[in-house]
């Protein structure tokens, strides 16, 4: 049975800063060798060449090693960075660590009450020619099932958030595919970010029984196929799918719980509140930020511009803007809506949500402290 989880959100004070992680360890909140996953926002451009993700990754891993975690194990910890803190979004990291059973307070002991659990897996190597095709869907789906098993989750209904990081296409990997006589879905590297995310989401949806196995031609085209719990990011730093499954399980213990919902569109604040309620907070019919009372650890969202170029029947020009890419505009807009709900700009809002939630909207996961 997996062990109980401690989860904390910490600010990142500069692009190479991991001092708040060090402080958590020094203060005894968590142990370096028990950190099992980190999910965060960095302040780069969010694009193919956003190297702030690599800088943050190195900083956090170096702290874990300095604080006593074995270097070979630290290399295997899933650390998923989403680049781009447009608008009011603030750089931060959410850190997950297991708790030694002997350190669990009596009122947090394992019981029949479902509590937060986390599982991790890596897929088979994703070749450049796999990206955007059923081969990638299958490899991701297999990894999700492994991560579920490691989290102690047997019912797909108990999975509320699946965070992934997958490779996108670069000039180098496109050239590699061609040298072996293979074709790629696109030769536009920035477009491949959306493609990798969307195809990964379909793999999550297949693993959780949300959809049947799609066809190659469905990828990025049939937006009625989506996962309600997928949060997919991609970058240049790996060649496999890195999968973190977050859900609830009985017999784990601890004081945290996760829930989810979806935003139907970019302005759907009620979707955020619904995710928080799903996690177990008792809220009034029309809640306000003060009702959270410090019990919300963090929310995790994906967002996407609606393919019809409208929000609630009103035309917008994001998809036609040649000055500022729509990735940055929609992330900024949804980040503002989210921060207005939570009262905290350190929220995980990530763009490129093809096949992640309904078109123009996106999944929302919330972790709350019930202690």
Told to judge if 138 belongs to the known catalytic residues of this protein, a careful annotator would answer no
Q: Residue 52 corresponds to which tokens in the numbers above?
A: 């702030």
- Count other Cβ atoms within 10 Å, centred on residue 322: 5
Q: Residue 242 corresponds to which tokens in the numbers above?
A: 């890195």
**CB-based contact 255:371 (threshold 8 Å):** yes
Q: Residue 70 corresponds to which tokens in the numbers above?
A: 């074995």
> 196, 227, 231, 233: which is the annotated catalytic residue?
233
> 165, 257, 302, 331: which is the annotated catalytic residue?
165
Told to judge if 234 belongs to the known catalytic residues of this protein, a careful annotator would answer no
Cα separation values, 226 from 236, 279, 362, Å: 24, 21, 10
**CB-based contact 11:43 (threshold 8 Å):** no
| Residue located via tokens 């009372």 | 293
Reference 350, options 303, 298, 299; nearest CA is 303
| Cβ-proximal residues to 355 (8 Å cutoff; 6+ apart), any chain | 197, 198, 199, 201, 202, 205, 219, 220, 223, 225, 226, 227, 230
Residues annotated as part of the active site? 165, 233
């Amino acid at each position: 049975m997996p062990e109980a989880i401690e989860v904390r959100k910490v600010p990142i004070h500069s692009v190479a800063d991991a001092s708040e992680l060090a402080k958590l360890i020094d203060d005894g909140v968590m142990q370096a060798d028990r950190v099992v996953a980190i999910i965060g926002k960095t302040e780069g451009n969010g694009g193919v060449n956003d190297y702030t993700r690599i800088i943050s990754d190195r900083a956090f891993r170096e702290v874990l090693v300095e604080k006593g975690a074995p270097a070979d194990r630290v290399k295997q910890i899933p650390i998923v960075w989403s680049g781009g803190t447009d608008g009011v979004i603030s750089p931060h990291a959410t850190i997950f660590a297991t708790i030694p059973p002997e350190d669990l307070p009596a009122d947090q002991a394992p019981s029949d009450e479902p509590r937060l659990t986390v599982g991790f897996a890596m897929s088979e190597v994703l070749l450049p020619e796999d990206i955007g095709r059923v081969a990638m869907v299958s490899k991701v789906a297999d990894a999700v099932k492994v991560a579920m098993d490691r989290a102690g989750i047997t019912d797909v209904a108990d999975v509320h958030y699946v965070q992934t990081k997958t490779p996108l296409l670069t000039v180098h990997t496109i050239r590699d595919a061609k040298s072996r006589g293979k074709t790629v879905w696109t030769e536009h590297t920035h477009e491949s970010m959306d493609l990798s995310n969307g195809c990964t989401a379909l793999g999550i949806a297949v693993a959780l029984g949300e959809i049947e196995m799609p066809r190659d031609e469905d990828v990025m085209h049939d937006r009625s196929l989506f996962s309600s719990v997928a949060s997919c990011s991609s970058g240049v730093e790996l060649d496999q799918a890195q999968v973190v499954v977050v859900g609830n399980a009985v017999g784990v213990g601890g004081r945290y719980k996760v829930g989810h919902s979806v935003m139907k569109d970019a302005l759907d604040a009620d979707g955020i509140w619904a995710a928080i309620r799903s996690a177990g907070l008792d809220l009034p019919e029309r809640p306000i930020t003060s009702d959270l009372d410090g019990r919300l650890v963090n929310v995790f969202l994906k967002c996407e511009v609606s393919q019809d170029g409208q929000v609630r029947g009103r035309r917008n020009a994001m998809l036609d803007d040649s000055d500022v890419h729509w990735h940055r505009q929609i992330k900024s807009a949804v980040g503002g809506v989210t921060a207005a709900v939570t009262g905290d700009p350190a929220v995980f809002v990530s763009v490129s949500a093809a096949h992640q939630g309904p078109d123009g909207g996106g999944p929302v996961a919330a972790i709350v402290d019930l202690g």
